[in-house]
Amino acid sequence: MIELDDAKDRLDVARIHGWLASSYWSPGIERPRVERAIAHSHTLGAYAADGTQVGYARAITDYATFAWIADVWVDAHGRGQGLGRRLVSWFLDHPELVGIRRFALMTGDAHGVYAPLGFHAAIRPDRFMERLDPVAAARLRAIP
């Protein structure tokens, strides 16, 4: 059984950094940046029975109107068992987040994981804008 826990002191930051640095959305991310993101987000770890961290996700939120789910990661050995969906569901069902008007997330490859939770393409994509630093923009443009 996989346990979910939002205690930050339990997170394996080195492991999380390794996961995110190898991801398509934040390749090469620096550890201090990961640490700052953890410090300023509502984080969630997934742990195997032996205490090893096997998953991670975080929400950036005002706890009133908006929450952005980010950095959802499931270790390779735990994929395909519904853990990614379970991590995101935990935020959707969290008492402090019930009633949020808009949850957002971005994915390049897990649309089918999140669609059953009610996620869909933006209804008005013409209203969505972003501002990226040049390095991040170049990395994203290089992703097929």
Mean model confidence pLDDT for the chain: 94
* pLDDT over 90 (residue 143): no
Mean pLDDT of 57-74: 97
The pLDDT value recorded for residue 113 is 93
CA dihedral angle for residue 94, residue 44, residue 72, residue 18, rounded to 10 degrees: 170
The pLDDT value recorded for residue 99 is 93
Whole-model pTM? 0.92
The C-alpha atoms of residue 53 and residue 144 are separated, in whole angstroms, by 30
Distance of CA 89 to the CA centre of its chain: 12
* pLDDT over 90 (residue 13): yes
Higher local confidence (pLDDT), 41 or 78: 41
